[in-house]
Structure 1
Amino acid sequence: MSSVATVVAPLLIGALYALLMSMIREPHRRAFNAIMVAGAGAAYLSGGGLGGWEYLFAALITYCAFRGLQSWTFIGIAWLLHTASDVLHHLKGHPIVPFAHDSSLGCAICDPVIALWCLRGGPDLLAFLRGRSSARGGELAT
């Protein structure tokens, strides 16, 4: 895979994740995302190659995910913690997908996009896009 695709694909995946999550109405969107990041926090437990540190990261992310049931900020923090874990795994551990050498790198690029969306409160991007397209349509009609 080219270096451009190595960066662009994970960025697009992060954006697509936020876009698809916009299909879930609040307050369920926040709860669903707390569950998603809790699962992501446990992704390396089956052999990430960093020993006991895997459990510390999983516990910390799980705590943030639990707090995320009431706060988008904690979900964003959890995704940033997962990003740090991805970087460590890319540099020193095993990849998140065993047969894809750069999968942890891709995850480390994707996760901050999701984190930023969460830190902004997990806004409904579909409504935002609909609003922009209807505003453009109104401009064209006048």
Structure 2
Amino acid sequence: MTIVAPILIGVAYVCLNSLIREPHRRRLNAVMVAGAGAAYLSGGGFGLWEFAFTAVVTYCAYRGLDSWTFIGIAWLLHTAWDALHHVYGNPIIPFVEHSSLGCAICDPVIAVWCLVGGPSVVEVIRARFGRSGSGDAVPRPEGQPAPPR
């Protein structure tokens, strides 16, 4: 469960965000990663480095207001920070020993989604399986028209 639950949380985050239309989805994610970048400020254990890290993630989040790539980079930076905290620092949730490890597993799921442009999962599924509403989930080969209704 230490690995599966964080992956499912990352997938749920992506799916829920898919319900938000662009450009609001990108901007919300920039704000979310900025908040994640400040998560360890109240006692992460790395002293002034916590402030330096927060500044770097805040810069990426600011650039992420207009760029999914910067949001993805910020999530990957947070992944590395989580891993460091799991090994050397204090956990992100003080009373949950492996919370930083869970965060380090969850964050790359979100980062990959951001690095591919933060697409709506619903729109990707519709594009892949067509909008025919016929009920069959068999994808059409590329270049073939949709079957008549």
Distance 2:94 2:130 in 1: 42
Match in the other structure for 1:49: 45
Structure 2 residue 123 is matched with structure 1 residue 127:
yes
Distance 1:129 1:54 in 2: 40
Match in the other structure for 1:19: 15
TM-score normalised according to structure 1 size: 0.90
Structure exhibiting the larger radius of gyration computed from Cα positions: 2
Structure 2 residue 86 is matched with structure 1 residue 90:
yes
TM-score normalised according to structure 2 size: 0.86
Question: What does residue range 1-142 of structure 1 map to in structure 2 within 5 Å?
Answer: 5-131=1-127, 132=129, 137-138=135-136
Q: Which has the higher helix share?
A: 1
1:126, CA displacement in angstroms? 1.7
Structure 1 residue runs without a partner (length 5+): none
Instruction: Identify the range of structure 1 (104-113 vs 129-138) with the bigger mean alpha-carbon deviation.
Output: 129-138
Identity of matched residues, %: 64
Structure 2 residue runs without a partner (length 5+): 139-146
Tell me the secondary structure at the aligned position of residue 2 of structure 2: helix
Root-mean-square deviation (Å): 1.9
Aligned length: 138
Instruction: Identify the range of structure 1 (122-131 vs 40-49) with the bigger mean alpha-carbon deviation.
Output: 122-131
Q: Deviations over 1:49-77 (max 9, x none)?
A: 11111011100000000000010000000
Q: 1:105 to 1:133 in 2, by over 3 A?
A: farther
